Structure 1
Amino acid sequence: MNTSEASGRHVDHGRGRTAGRRARLRVSRVGLYLVLVVLALGYVFPFLINIATSFKTESEATADPLGLIPRTFSTAAYAKLFGASDFPLWMRNSVVVTVVVTAGRVLFDSMAGYALARIPFRGRGVVYALLVAVMSVPGVVLLIPKFLVINQLSMYDSWAGLIVPLLCDAAGVFIMKGFFESIPASVEEQARVDGAGTWRIFFSIVLPMSVPSLVTITILSFQGSWNELSHFIVASRSFGLVTLTKGVAQLSAGSLGQGNQYPLKLGAALIMTVPVAVLFFIFQRRIMDTTSGAVKE
């Protein structure tokens, strides 16, 4: 065997190994995609059942709860929700609370985060340690102390009791503090040289640069206050202050009549999901896009 034949066989053997490696890579990639598709279907399937069942009759929902195509398309559940229940009142209350709480959290979380990131004061490290400690405490542990404080301040069963305790949250302050620390200090130093004070630097320079984190806080605050339940349970008892989550929880317990009421309950749950989903899909590209507004020193 001459040298040219040996080198040719070596090249063919190398090509065969490369082709085999590529084939195995394709198989593993296809397998991975199949697993992802199955997981995605498993995640989306309950939501599809929610949509389909809300447009079924109650008898069909009972007989075929997992069917994705209603045999008899019906909007009776939605008509009952908006025409024969207190659902509009619950939605109005939730909208009021959510809008005020979201605006408050964006403002107060930003101010607190900026103070912890940029303003030196005695005990700043202790305040930050307490902030992290609060984030590690389960919310259910704080329900009774929260009720005692609200009751002691004469805010129980009032709009103030629903809104004020939610106007600031530790996670939002933590996020804003981290983002403000990523902004070069030279930007603020230049503004101080030009005669700007702390408030002007914050509102005119730093805050406009923090749009990605503000969008993140807005979405998290909207979602958190819209879906809040435990706080509303301990903060109020009046019929006129029932929010959407509290009302739907009562609805799930069968407060509007007999039967399983699957279309009614799932229709209410679907309507609750829509605002948060719309807000997320609109602003998802802006969530913590830290390259936006970044300045290099």
Structure 2
Amino acid sequence: MIILDGKKVSNDIKEEIAEHVKSMISKGDKVPHLAAILVGSDGASMTYVNAKVKACQRIGFNSTLIELPEYTSEEELLQKIHDLNTNNDIDGFIVQLPLPKQIDEQKVLMAIDPNKDVDGFHPVNVGRMALDLPTFLPATPYGIMELLERYQIETSGKNVVVLGRSHIVGRPMSILMSQKRKAGDATVTVVHSRSKNLEAITKEADIIVAAIGISEFLTGDMVKEDVVIIDVGITRVPDATKKNGYRLAGDVHFESVSQKASYITPVPGGVGPMTIAMLLKNTLLARERHNQ
């Protein structure tokens, strides 16, 4: 069993981007500038956004963090988005989800300029992805594809099961894995809360992408020998033995599934770091497009 080390691969990608940025500076080109809008003080969101800012500093990007209070109105947020859309100094930006209840997430995502949508969530970019046209790929699925490529995991003709049908991971993952690409050409099945005979389906899978949002849902008796496991989930599970009172668990029961798996991502340290790395890669792409 081999651990798919997202932390190591993401660091490799960051080093590659940092070298590219040095080359840009030597030519007198403007370095990429990523902005992030954070509404409220959700702990997980703050941690994630701060990690993005630190990653920008490390590789030589410029970064801007816009922090807004929990009570921010939808109109105020849309104005901030308009300001970033029209700011030529900003190459790409994200609005950290989830948003407070008074704000319509869909309206917010629609307001972002597709040319600056480095999260890859705008319908224009989702449509271009579905048509296999150049675009910003959603960062988490993009990171998974990169992980599969860099570990040279064979996907062509394989049975891939995606647990979950979210717009952020499940659906784009199913599209990318079925396309003609290096980590693609697979036969893809998407399962969800209404799927029947779930265990029979997962037992036939050569590769499983677990993004269902239920901690330790996938267990060892639901998979076959030598399966490749990509665990996207991350949940805080109460644990009295830990100083902070909890441990982080994925959607996969690591102890039982890892005994059968040929490759598996850990939680944390698997998919999470890759998501940030691919967000940076999208921002670099945005800068290069602006240069052109």
Task: Give the TM-score taking structure 1 as reference length.
Answer: 0.23
Higher relative contact order (CA 8 A, sep 6+): 1
Q: TM-score, with normalisation over the residues of structure 2?
A: 0.24
Larger Rg: 1
Determine which structure has the larger helix proportion and give its number. 1
Looking at secondary structure, tell me which structure has more strand per residue: 2
